[in-house]
Amino acid sequence: MPSAAQLPVTMLALAATRPAARSTPAAAMMGSRLIAARTYATPAGPPPANFRPKRHETWDEDKESTLNKMGRYFLLSEMARGMYVLMEQFFRPPYTIYYPFEKGPISPRFRGEHALRRYPSGEERCIACKLCEAICPAQAITIEAEERADGSRRTTRYDIDMTKCIYCGFCQESCPVDAIVESPNAEYATETREELLYNKEKLLQNGDKWEPELAAVIRADAPYR
């Protein structure tokens, strides 16, 4: 530690001019309160008898009787307990399904391959509001639209880059007419990346193919929307 001669002049001057700490009644009262807080858990006094949890015993403080230890060692009670669990599960019906020949249930809110729906008359549902394009966090949707003679708007281009899609379902939630949806289809693997660049025709084909299933899941989820 450096001596006083080795300290800078500025530090010595600050030490000389710094006032000494004085003990005041408020400080003394605060100190007594801190001592009381450290002594007791509450200002009201000592804690109750069962305030602190019981300390766990270590291996050298085990109070198990020698007879119980011998029983576990010679009678293999732990192994018998494990065999009981094994046999209990052995006679239960299996949970295995033979995919793809058998398939498990799918939630109505399952988010799979995208599709564009039509009205029963065959007219496209999409009104080109571009809410799905605006809300897409991955910017995977590209829409171009034009105005028709009757004043309505329809899309001329509706592209989805499925390699960017994160299947968040925001596009489906934001659509006011249930046009863009995510179908229950999860089996659409491709051999090339270009096949995952969906255009409007591909999306409409998916909608025509899965329309019965899409209508059913929308009806099932309608009470919770």
For the stretch 59-91, pLDDT in tens is: 666 677 788 888 777 778 888 888 999 999 888
Q: What is the pLDDT of residue 125?
A: 95
Is residue 40 classed as helix, strand or coil in its secondary structure?
coil
Q: Does the pLDDT of residue 141 top 80, yes or no? A: yes
Q: Does the pLDDT of residue 113 top 90, yes or no? A: yes
Q: Determine the residue type at 29.
A: M
Q: Is the dihedral of CA 101, 106, 108, 110 positive or negative?
A: negative
Q: Determine the residue type at 167.
A: Y
Q: In the numeric block, which tokens belong to residue 214?
A: 């899409």
Q: Does the pLDDT of residue 128 top 50, yes or no? A: yes
Stretch 29-44: mean pLDDT: 55
Q: What is the pLDDT of residue 34?
A: 53
Q: Give the confidence band of 5 by pLDDT, cuts at 50, 70, 90.
A: very low
% of the chain surpassing 70 pLDDT: 75
Helix (H) or strand (E) holding 144: strand 141-147
Q: What is the pLDDT of residue 73?
A: 79
Q: What is the pLDDT of residue 96?
A: 86
Q: Which residue has the higher pLDDT, 111 or 17?
A: 111
Q: In the numeric block, which tokens belong to residue 160?
A: 């989805």
Stretch 140-154: mean pLDDT: 92
Stretch 87-109: mean pLDDT: 88
Cα 194 to Cα 109, 162, 191, 199, 200, distances in angstroms: 28, 10, 9, 11, 15
* Residue 167, Ramachandran bin (φ over 0: left; ψ between -120 and 50: alpha; else beta): left
CB 152 within 8 A of CB 127: yes
Among 3.40.640.10, 3.30.70.3270, 3.30.499.10, 3.30.200.20, name the CATH number for the domain at 114-224.
3.30.70.3270
What pTM was estimated for this model as a whole?
0.59
Domain residues of the chain, as ranges? 65-95, 114-224
Q: What is the pLDDT of residue 60?
A: 64
Q: What is the pLDDT of residue 149?
A: 87
Helix (H) or strand (E) holding 35: helix 25-39
Stretch 159-187: mean pLDDT: 95
Stretch 152-164: mean pLDDT: 95
